[in-house]
Amino acid sequence: MDFFNSALGKNITFVRPAYFIISGFSGIPNIKYYYVFLCFVYIVSVLGNTVVMAVIYLDHNLRTPKYIAVFHLAFVDLLGSSALVPKLLDIFLFNHPYISYNDCLTFLFFCYTFLSMQVFNLVALSYDRLIAILHPLHYHVKVTHRFMLSLIASFWVFAITAVLIAVGLLTRLSFCRSVVINSYFCDHGQIYRLACNDYTPSHVFGVFLVALILWFPLAFVLLSYVCIGYALSKVATAQERYKAFRTCTAHLSLVAIYFIPLVITFTAGSAIHPNARIINLSLASVFPPMLNPIIYVLQTQEIKASMKKIIKVRKESKMKVKKVIIK
């Protein structure tokens, strides 16, 4: 933070408010029911992602590069939901809209970092499916445990660095007018627009951040599935095509759930009502972490088989304990 301020000179004083006010969902009737719904979504997200992580951890057969990425997606979904939803409920359900300046920037940092990592995980899974279908004979050479872990680690470094720069640029802004953030959390775009000095660097970097988090990953995912579709069209039989494409259905479902609401919101721009934009973005933030584990459990044969095996083993162990007690 001090680096950004010292680069502008020691004599510059920035006006930093003691707190911001998060206005959220103003003017929407019966909005408290929506907060109760978000609470339900959060509970399901925590339970679902914990189950997916536990199944992958307990079953050694699932410790493959693909399921390393799935495990990490569940982990990031759990962190992202925990960073956003409890604070969101505290702000709106318990009427605590005031958030200190430093807490707001911290809130922004964690929300954007986990949001970025959710997207980058979809990119990692996309690459995994691309290599598995285009180069099946070389898959185990090209996509190794070390490669997947290195890819995820590089995404973490990239995401943290990008979000830290965004937060650092915000610290060189003065807030001498409104302190009301027209969003459901400490939204980067809504914060820098409150500044009374030049916020061009934050605006330019914000555009870059949207491209980084949304458009570039979406372009890569779409291009990878164009290549996958072309490769599957060369497969001899329809049954082989279906079998290969079936391995992608869970990932495609996640991509659709995650990207479609965001693309609609960002392409609509000012044409969408502010309240509709806020609700749409809030759903896009909390829904994927809830649906991701459900989709992977229902559409992935390996996880379903692993869950059945774990449940069977637990039942058998309980039966043995009962027999020992009876004897």
Mean pLDDT of the chain: 83
Question: For the whole model, what pTM was predicted?
Answer: 0.84
Residue range of the domain that includes 268: 13-300
Q: Does residue 183 sit within a domain? A: yes
Q: Does residue 131 sit within a domain? A: yes
**pLDDT greater at residue 266 or residue 113:** 113
Mean pLDDT for 102-131 is 92
Q: pLDDT (tens digit, 9 = 90+) per residue, 308-321?
A: 777 776 666 666 65
Q: 62 and 55 in contact (C-beta within 8 Å)?
A: yes
The Cα–Cα gap between 126 and 76 comes to 17
Q: pLDDT (tens digit, 9 = 90+) per residue, 270-319?
A: 667 777 777 788 888 888 888 888 877 666 777 777 777 777 766 666 66
Q: Does residue 308 sit within a domain? A: no
CATH of the domain at 70: 1.20.1070.10
Q: How many domains does the chain have?
A: 1
Q: pLDDT (tens digit, 9 = 90+) per residue, 202-240?
A: 999 999 988 988 899 999 999 998 888 888 887 767 777
pLDDT, position 134: 86
Q: Does residue 159 sit within a domain? A: yes
192-196, 217-221, 259-263, range with the lowest pLDDT:
259-263
Q: Does residue 271 sit within a domain? A: yes
What is the share, in percent, of the chain residues with pLDDT greater than 90?
A: 30
**pLDDT greater at residue 315 or residue 9:** 315
List the alpha helices (DSSP H) in 59-97.
Answer: 65-92
Provide the 3-class DSSP secondary structure of residue 180.
strand
Q: Does residue 7 sit within a domain? A: no
10-14, 123-127, 182-186, range with the lowest pLDDT:
10-14
Q: Does residue 325 sit within a domain? A: no
Identify the residue whose tokens are 């479609």.
Answer: 260
